[in-house]
Amino acid sequence: MTHLHITSWVLALILLGVAVWLYRFGKAKPGKIVHMILRLDFLLILYSGGSLIGNYFEGISGFTGELIIKVIAGIWTIAAIEMIANKAKKRQPARTWWIQFFIAFIIAVVLGFGRLPLGIM
């Protein structure tokens, strides 16, 4: 499940880049298609993340605080990605969302790789 989780958020980063690039260069229709695929990928991130949470109900203890922050940071990252894509679609600046994206993403990755115990199985 960690592999699916990592694959799905790496895919989200790629799709975000492609969607923003397409919108920026006026290619609204292909941009919209990539944006829709990006939204489907959000479901994959949530599903794989949710399944990983399941492991914590089966005996892992002592990480509740960090797990809660990790999940909030993950959801916050997804929200920021969606907002960046929307701003690109409307051709509006997304600076504040980019900042939030980087902060939330770094928190999610540091806690996921650095602190939480599951690791790549």
Q: Which residues bind ligand HEM (CB under 6 A)?
A: 2, 5-6, 9, 12, 45-46, 49-50, 52-53, 70-71, 74-75, 77-78, 105, 108-109, 112-113, 116-120
Q: How far is the CB of 26 from ligand HEM (least distance, A)?
A: 27
Q: Which lies closer to ligand HEM via its Cβ, residue 27 or residue 47?
A: 47
Q: d(Cα 59, Cα 86) in Å, to the nearest integer?
A: 40
Residue whose entry in the numeric block shows the structure tokens 């990480």:
63
Q: How far is the CB of 29 from ligand HEM (least distance, A)?
A: 26
**Is the distance from CB of 100 to CB of 43 less than 8 angstroms?**
no
Q: Which lies closer to ligand HEM via its Cβ, residue 27 or residue 63?
A: 63
Q: Which lies closer to ligand HEM via its Cβ, residue 22 or residue 78?
A: 78
Q: What is the DSSP string of 18-74?
A: HHHHHHHTT-HHHHHHHHHHHHHHHHHHHHHHHHHHHHHTTT--S-HHHHHHHHHHH
